[in-house]
């Protein structure tokens, strides 16, 4: 406890002297309200189509696969194709209206991660199918949380992550995603809130892009619209 | 001259002459610049975003006590255990104690410069724990027993051949050099470690005061695994890393990605608000946060340089610095390299021992321009110089200027000086660049300017139209 008191004491003493205003030449500007950031960040269109186009561009740049499908059956067909092509035997998912609608009758062994499970079992899964909280057009990100998307590890441990999203989940930007979190969870946030932007990547060797450094090598996003 | 200063000079001299190394670093950083400019260009106004980011950090740092209290209270309410550490030793002790009390054996780490600052790996290994860096670049330099070369790109100085070699020697890996194959070797090994590890240690990019969460930014997913699989998560955070609210992250996350690595957004940006909560199926059962001062309140007390605490450790100032590009990251001998390292290390580890870094700059100002939170680094280098001289005036320099001033005030003395200079200069080549040379520091790599054969005074006097008739 004493270090806490010491550190806070030193902070309070230090702050008795006033610092010059931020910026290079002493311009004064009060800290802007968080809502005002949008005007400086990369622009996002107004309509659903604008956002969808922007998300698709970002996903392509990030080397994620992004497909818009008309209904859950079509999403299920996309997943079935992947299962057949890769001959997946074991996959992970969790219970949610969207995942339940697309994960039936695939002939694979399912691990459900919304109940306590063995890490070793999840490690054996070739792919995972999860819901998401939102898609973010501005950045091409998928927002997942530990409460609504099958826990912490399901979106990072298996080598292929498939995300299913509904039309109204496509949000313009990060600010809108945080707004959603606040509205949805009030003060009872999940322990993990993660923006996934493309498959796992590294450039640590000669700045050459390699996918699947530690997390999924592939990210497939299916938007049902 | 301090021992650090001597090491710095020796290393800087060696690497500046290493053209291959310089070209390698410049090439990598040119690639970064291209990407950075592309994504900066997507902002509607990068400059206004910078000013806003600076203003947000100003607000937080100048009310740090309030924001810290709010942050800690929120975290503790959600089951996190918060530990305060005045210095590096205390932070290490906290972490060692957590590891011992929980009988941890294998510890997996995601990238954290703050853990480098407190030399955590050494301490853990000496205490008998096995520690693995999971970030690919960090893992490579850990295997080479080297400090990170750059705060964001730890292994940027290495070529694929060197990485292949260390993988062969230390891991018995097959002799492949393809970056993809090398990455997959590390992935396979790390997967085992992740599944074995009982404790995960991470850094923190931002602390969110409003909601009591930490935010971690990464590309590889190793931090996600570090904070998902082991049963204990320990996060180490400098007390200055706060923002006001989640909404501030809507500004800071894209700016960090763009300034730091030339990306739209980094691969994974994750907020953690405690251990596994009721109703969640996985994640650590314990979440500890170690809050580190270690000299930060000293910077806070220096009102003129307080904005150094605005730094978000993006590395943009290193990337554009001509000094960094020429002397390389290891020459600094510090945890934080480049302009930000030159400016803060004297605060963290002593001004007189580390002032040489503030003098080793061309003051070109590229760092001030690059900083996404508008820290005026070039001027802070000057502040450090002034403070160092004020604290300990250099006797020889003072004497030299006193003599110069005397000469300038006495024309006779000045003429005598010029006459002697002209007379003695032809003898200079005999001692040029050697220990006997009074101007050695200059002449080692340069020619001395020649004294004019005719001084202006003589020329003026002998000009025909000026001759008395």
CATH number of domain containing A109 = 3.40.50.10420
Q: Is residue A117 within 8 angstroms of chain B, CB to CB?
A: yes
For residue A128, what are the domain limits? 46-200+209-224
Give the residue from B232, B261, B294 where a domain finishes.
B294
| B6 is a domain residue | no
* HSE-up (13 A, CA, CB side) for residue B170: 16
- What is the residue range of B262's domain? 61-294
Q: Which of B272, B294, B316 is the last residue of a domain?
A: B294
- A120, B195 in Cβ contact below 8 A? yes
Q: Is B442 left (phi over 0), alpha (psi -120 to 50) or beta?
A: alpha
3-state secondary structure (DSSP) of residue B445? coil
With the C-alpha atoms ordered A139, A141, A147, A153, is the resulting torsion angle positive or negative?
negative
Q: What is the ipTM of this complex?
A: 0.96
A-B Cβ pairs (cutoff 8 Å, strict): 313
- Could you tell me if residue B342 is inside a domain? no
Please tell me which residue of chain B has the smallest CA distance to A188. Answer: B78
Q: What is the mean pLDDT of residues B346-368?
A: 96
Q: Number of folded domains in chain B?
A: 2
- In the stretch 3-32 of chain A, residues with CB closer than 8 A to chain B read 3-4, 6-8, 10-15, 17-24, 27, 29-32
Residue B452 lies in a domain: yes
Query: Which residue has 């002493």 as its token pair?
Result: A26
Asked whether residue A35 is domain-assigned, the answer is no
B22 domain residue, yes or no: no
- Answer yes or no: is A89 within a domain: yes
Q: Tell me the chain A residues in contact with residue B78 when contact means C-beta distances shorter than 8 Å.
A: 189, 191
- Based on its alpha-carbon atoms, the radius of gyration of chain B, rounded to whole angstroms, reads 27
Tell me what pLDDT residue A23 has. 57
Q: Which among B63, B270, B297 has the least Cβ separation from residue A192?
A: B270
Asked if B227 and B180 touch (Cβ cutoff 8 Å), the reply is: no
Last residue of a domain, one of B294, B317, B334: B294
Q: Averaged over B218-238, what is the pLDDT? A: 98
Question: Which of B51, B136, B222 minimises the CB distance to A23?
Answer: B51
Q: Write out pLDDT tens, residues B361-417.
A: 999 999 999 999 999 999 999 999 999 999 999 898 889 999 999 999 999 999 998
Say if B318 falls within a structural domain.
no
B218 CB within 8 Å of a chain A CB: no
In whole angstroms, give the CA distance from residue B307 to residue B340.
11
Q: Which of A196, A163, A161, A146 is nearest to A91 (CA)?
A: A161
Q: Tell me the mean pLDDT in the region B220-224.
A: 98
Tens of pLDDT, residue by residue over B59-86, are 999 999 999 999 999 999 999 999 999 9
- The CATH number of residue B218's host domain is 3.40.50.10420
Q: Do A208 and B179 make contact, defined as CB atoms within 8 angstroms?
A: yes
Distance from C-alpha of B242 to C-alpha of A15, rounded to nearest angstrom: 16
Cβ pair B312, B372 in contact under 8 A = yes
Contact residues on chain A for B197, CB-CB shorter than 8 A: none
Q: Is residue A2 part of a domain?
A: no
Average pLDDT, chain A: 94
- Total number of domains constituting chain A: 1
Lowest average pLDDT, out of B51-65, B94-108, B252-266, B416-430, goes to B416-430
* Res A21 pLDDT > 80: no
Instruction: Note whether residue B425 is domain-resident.
Output: yes
In a domain, B416, yes or no: yes
A104 part of a folded domain: yes
Listed by number, the residues of chain B in 149-208 with a beta carbon closer than 8 Å to a beta carbon of chain A are: 153-156, 158-160, 163, 179-180, 182-184, 186-187, 190-191, 194-195
Question: Which chain A residues are within 8 Å of B273, Cβ to Cβ?
Answer: 189-193
**What residue of A is the nearest CA neighbor of B281?**
A116
| A214 inside domain | yes
Q: Quick one: what percent of chain A has pLDDT higher than 90?
A: 89
pTM as predicted: 0.93
Q: Is B400 inside any structural domain?
A: no
Comparing CB atoms, the residue among B31, B136, B273 nearest residue A213 is: B136
Helix (H) or strand (E) holding B20: helix B19-40
Contact between B136 and A204 using a beta-carbon 8 Å cutoff = yes
Quick one: closest CA in A to B94, which residue? Answer: A3
Considering the domain boundaries, does residue A99 fall inside one?
A: yes
């Amino acid at each position: 406890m004493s270090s806490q008191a010491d550190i806070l004491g030193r902070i309070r003493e230090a702050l008795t002297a006033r610092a010059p205003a931020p910026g290079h030449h002493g311009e004064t500007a009060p800290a802007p309200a968080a809502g005002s950031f949008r005007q400086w960040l990369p622009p996002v269109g107004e309509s659903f189509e604008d956002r969808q186009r922007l998300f698709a561009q970002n996903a392509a740049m990030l080397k994620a696969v992004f497909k818009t499908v008309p209904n859950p059956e079509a999403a299920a067909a996309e997943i079935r194709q992947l299962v057949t092509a890769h001959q997946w035997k074991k996959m992970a998912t969790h219970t949610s209206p969207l995942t339940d609608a697309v994960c039936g009758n695939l002939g694979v062994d399912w691990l459900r991660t919304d109940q306590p499970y063995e890490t070793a079992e999840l490690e054996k899964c070739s792919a995972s199918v999860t819901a998401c909280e939102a898609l973010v057009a501005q950045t091409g990100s998928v927002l997942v949380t530990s409460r609504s998307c099958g826990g912490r590890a399901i979106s990072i441990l298996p080598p292929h992550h498939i995300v299913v999203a509904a039309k109204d989940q496509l949000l313009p930007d990060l600010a809108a995603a945080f707004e959603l979190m606040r509205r949805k969870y009030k003060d009872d946030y999940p322990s993990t809130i993660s923006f996934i932007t493309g498959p796992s990547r590294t450039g640590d060797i000669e700045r050459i892009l390699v996918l699947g450094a530690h997390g999924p090598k592939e990210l497939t996003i299916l938007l049902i619209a | 001259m301090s021992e650090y200063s001597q090491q710095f000079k020796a290393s800087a001299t060696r690497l500046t002459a290493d053209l291959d190394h310089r070209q390698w670093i410049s090439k990598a950083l040119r690639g970064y610049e291209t990407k950075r400019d592309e994504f900066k260009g997507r902002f509607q106004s990068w400059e206004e975003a910078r000013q806003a980011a600076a203003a947000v950090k100003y607000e937080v740092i100048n009310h740090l006590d309030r924001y810290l209290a709010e942050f800690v209270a929120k975290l503790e309410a959600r089951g996190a255990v918060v530990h305060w550490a005045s210095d590096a030793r205390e932070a290490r002790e906290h972490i060692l104690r957590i590891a011992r009390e929980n009988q941890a054996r294998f510890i997996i780490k995601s990238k954290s410069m703050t853990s480098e600052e407190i030399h955590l790996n050494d301490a853990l290994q000496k205490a008998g724990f096995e520690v693995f860096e999971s970030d690919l670049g960090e893992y490579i330099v850990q295997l080479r027993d080297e400090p990170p070369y750059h705060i964001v790109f730890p292994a940027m100085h290495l070529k694929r051949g060197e990485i292949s070699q260390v993988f062969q020697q230390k891991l018995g890996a097959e002799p492949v050099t393809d970056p993809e194959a090398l990455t997959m070797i590390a992935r396979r090994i790390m997967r085992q470690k992740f599944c074995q590890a009982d404790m995960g240690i991470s850094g923190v990019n931002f602390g969110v005061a409003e909601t009591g969460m930490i935010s971690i930014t990464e590309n590889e997913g190793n931090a996600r695994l570090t904070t998902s699989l082991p049963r204990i998560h320990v996060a180490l955070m400098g007390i200055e890393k706060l923002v006001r609210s989640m909404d501030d992250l809507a500004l800071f996350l894209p700016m960090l990605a763009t300034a730091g690595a030339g990306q739209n957004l980094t691969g994974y940006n994750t907020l953690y608000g405690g251990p596994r909560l009721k109703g969640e199926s996985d994640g650590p059962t314990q979440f500890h946060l170690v809050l580190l001062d270690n000299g930060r309140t000293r910077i806070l007390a220096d009102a003129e340089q307080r904005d150094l605490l605005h730094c978000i450790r993006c590395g943009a100032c290193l990337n554009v610095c001509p000094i960094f590009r020429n002397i390389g990251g290891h020459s600094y001998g510090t945890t934080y390299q480049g302009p930000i390292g030159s400016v803060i290390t004297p605060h963290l580890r002593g001004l007189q021992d580390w002032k040489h870094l503030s003098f080793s700059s061309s003051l070109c100002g590229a760092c001030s321009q690059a900083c996404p939170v508008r820290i005026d680094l070039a001027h802070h280098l000057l502040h450090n110089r002034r403070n160092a001289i004020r604290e300990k005036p250099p006797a020889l320099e003072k004497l030299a200027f006193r003599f110069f001033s005397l000469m300038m005030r006495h024309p006779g003395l000045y003429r005598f000086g010029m006459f002697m200079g002209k007379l003695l200069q032809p003898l200079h080549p005999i001692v040029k660049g050697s220990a006997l040379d009074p101007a050695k520091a200059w002449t080692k790599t340069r020619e001395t300017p020649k004294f004019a054969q005719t001084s202006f005074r003589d020329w003026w006097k002998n000009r025909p139209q000026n001759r008395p008739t």
